[in-house]
């Protein structure tokens, strides 16, 4: 799956709008429908929602989600910084539609102080999406600080508010800590940094049927492995074949006290489809290797460390895991 920048995501939306054709408001409805479907299916034990919306299109998504979930039987309250403030065109349209439902209250952020966030309440984050370009401050910073200390489940729409799309936020940045992030159409590059895990929670990719032509033609240097990629390269084995038909691999590694690395590497080779797997390791690791990975065949490469690197010419060779730095290992390796 390709990973696009924030600019490419905006272009993808516009390309979809101009080529289907579909209006931006209709596209927002489509995205909200995917979010609503996931929440309705996975949050059946929670019937109360507090939806925090910004003034841009991510807030517009939140307004539509609030309306749709209300119609599905959820108790919904919406929070915004200023109900009379300036909203994006699409957000304004959906805020107006929301007001037609008397059962949905639209509150200000400061009313969250007195709100009853009981254990059945889920917080929906629709404050900022992929367009955020600077760290949050003012009322938005305060409300995120307030929400981050709640024990309620938090679900972010597209991107946890305060997080950038293309890079990680600085150590002083304020970012909402979501339990789930419902990312629209694809992964965001920032999600894949280890520093982001505490903010994204579990990432769920929701397909909102953006134009496939744009996806196929737009260029990017970033990808994640997905089922489509695996299915394209996976070659099913023939019914009457055997392991000898699928190549040979040898893992050269291990030394006294470092046999586990060779075990893990051999298991990885077997898992990825090697036919005949060998482990060339010192004799001190024989029992561990044969007990932990009996499918692999053992070749003695020394006593406490590897000094013999002799293997068959038709083997694919992986060298290094736990090999150690003994001088005899180094010398014989260079002569290998």
183 inside domain:
yes
Q: Are 252 and 227 found together in one domain?
A: no
d(CA 183, CA 173): 21
198 inside domain:
yes
Q: Are 206 and 290 found together in one domain?
A: no
Q: Are 112 and 249 found together in one domain?
A: no
> Which phi and psi (to 5°) does residue 251 adopt?
-100, 120
Q: Are 44 and 189 found together in one domain?
A: yes
Alpha-carbon radius of gyration of the chain: 27
Whole-number Cα distances in Å, 173 to 53, 136, 143, 167, 176 = 20, 7, 14, 12, 10
Choosing from 203, 231, 259, the residue where a domain stops is 231
CA 77 to the chain's CA centroid? 29
CA 197 to the chain's CA centroid? 9
Q: Are 224 and 255 found together in one domain?
A: no
Q: Are 167 and 311 found together in one domain?
A: no
Q: Are 203 and 290 found together in one domain?
A: no
Q: Are 267 and 324 found together in one domain?
A: yes
Q: Which helix (H) or strand (E) holds 148?
A: helix 138-148
pLDDT tens by residue, the chain, 336 residues: 999 999 999 999 999 999 998 999 999 999 999 999 999 999 988 989 999 999 999 999 999 999 999 999 999 999 999 999 999 999 999 999 999 999 999 999 999 999 999 999 999 999 999 989 888 999 999 999 999 999 999 999 999 999 999 998 887 889 999 999 999 999 999 999 999 999 999 999 999 999 999 999 999 999 998 888 888 888 888 889 999 999 999 999 999 999 999 999 999 999 988 999 999 999 999 999 999 999 999 999 999 999 999 998 899 999 999 999 999 999 999 888
- Provide the domain limits for residue 188: 6-231
- Please report where in the chains the tokens 């505490």 appear, as a residue: 198
Q: Are 59 and 153 found together in one domain?
A: yes
237 inside domain:
no
Q: Are 197 and 259 found together in one domain?
A: no
CATH of the domain at 73: 3.40.50.10260
Q: Are 220 and 256 found together in one domain?
A: no
Torsion of CA 188, 194, 196, 200, to 10 degrees: 80
Which one, of 238, 231, 182, lies nearest residue 58 by Cα? 182
d(CA 242, CA 229): 26
Choosing from 196, 231, 266, the residue where a domain stops is 231
| Predicted local distance difference test score (pLDDT) of residue 131 | 87
Q: Are 226 and 278 found together in one domain?
A: no
Choosing from 210, 231, 252, the residue where a domain stops is 231
CATH of the domain at 311: 3.40.50
Domains in the chain, number: 2
26 inside domain:
yes
Which one, of 288, 291, 293, 286, lies nearest residue 270 by Cα? 293
236 inside domain:
no
238 inside domain:
no
């Amino acid at each position: 799956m390709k990973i696009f920048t924030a600019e490419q995501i905006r272009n993808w939306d516009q390309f979809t709008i101009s080529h289907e054709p579909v209006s931006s408001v209709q596209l927002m409805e489509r995205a909200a429908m995917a979010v609503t479907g996931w929440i309705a299916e996975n949050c059946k034990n929670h019937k109360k929602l507090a939806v925090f919306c910004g003034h841009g299109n991510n807030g517009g998504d939140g307004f539509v989600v609030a309306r749709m979930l209300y119609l599905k039987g959820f108790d919904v309250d919406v929070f915004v910084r200023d109900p009379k403030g300036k909203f994006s065109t699409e957000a304004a349209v959906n805020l107006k539609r929301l007001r037609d439902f008397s059962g949905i209250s639209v509150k200000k952020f400061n009313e969250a102080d007195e709100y009853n966030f009981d254990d059945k309440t889920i917080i929906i984050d629709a404050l900022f999406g992929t367009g955020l370009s600077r760290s949050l401050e003012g009322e938005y910073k305060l409300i995120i600080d307030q929400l981050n200390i709640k024990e309620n489940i938090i679900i972010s729409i597209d991107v946890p508010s305060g997080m950038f799309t293309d890079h990680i936020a600085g150590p002083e940045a304020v970012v909402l800590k979501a339990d789930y992030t419902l990312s629209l159409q694809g992964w965001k590059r920032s999600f894949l940094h280890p520093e982001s895990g505490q903010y994204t929670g579990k990432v769920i990719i929701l397909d909102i049927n953006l134009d496939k032509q744009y996806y196929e033609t737009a260029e990017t240097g970033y990808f994640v492995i997905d089922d489509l990629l695996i299915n394209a390269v996976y070659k099913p084995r023939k019914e009457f074949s055997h392991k000898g038909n699928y190549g040979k691999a040898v893992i050269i590694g291990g030394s006294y006290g470092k046999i586990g690395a060779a075990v893990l590497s051999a298991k990885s080779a077997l898992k990825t489809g090697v036919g005949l797997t060998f482990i060339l390791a010192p004799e001190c690791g024989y029992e561990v290797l044969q007990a932990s990975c009996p499918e692999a065949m053992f070749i003695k490469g020394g006593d406490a460390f590897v000094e013999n690197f002799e293997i068959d010419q038709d083997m694919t060779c992986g060298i290094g895991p736990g090999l150690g730095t003994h001088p005899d290992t180094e010398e014989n390796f260079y002569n290998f």
